[in-house]
Amino acid sequence: MKIVISDGERFLNNLLKKWGYEVLVAEDGPQALRLLQQENPPKVAIFSCEMKNLSGIEVCSRLRQAVKEPYIYLVLLTSTSQKDDLIEGLAAGADDYVIKPFDAYELRARL
């Protein structure tokens, strides 16, 4: 299964490949949107709230407005545990929110 992740997530990239996923790395928010709007898009995206040129929250919001089918499971990564950020991300269309540093076994169970 293909998964889109944000650039700079080397540990996540290596972990997902170890688990057998095909990883596509988005250099910034606009590239993440392009990868997720292509024909036969990845079923999962895990990206940072702090992406370049377009935040992860913006990517969630724009993707949910533009793409209804197929459904893409969106996970936001953040280094902050502020409730307001979590609520904003979920309201924008994220399905899940993972706070860094994250537990690899917990992430694997979520996927």
pLDDT of residue 85: 80
pLDDT of residue 19: 97
Q: Are 80 and 57 in contact (CB under 8 A)?
A: no
CA gap 80, 49 in Å, rounded: 10
Alpha carbons within 13 A on the beta-carbon side of 66: 11
| Predicted TM-score of the model (pTM) | 0.91
Going residue by residue through the chain (111 aa), what tens digit of pLDDT does each one get? 999 999 888 999 999 999 999 999 999 999 999 999 999 999 999 999 889 999 999 999 999 999 788 999 999 988 877 788 888 999 999 999 998 889 999 999 988
pLDDT of residue 18: 96
Q: Return the sign of the alpha-carbon dihedral for residues 69, 33, 96, 17.
A: positive
Beta bridge partners of 96: 75
Which residues lie below 8 Å from residue 40, measured CB to CB, with a gap of 6+? none
Phi, psi of 86 (to 5 degrees): -60, -45
Q: Quick one: the chain helix, strand, coil %, rounded to 5?
A: 40, 25, 35
pLDDT of residue 68: 82
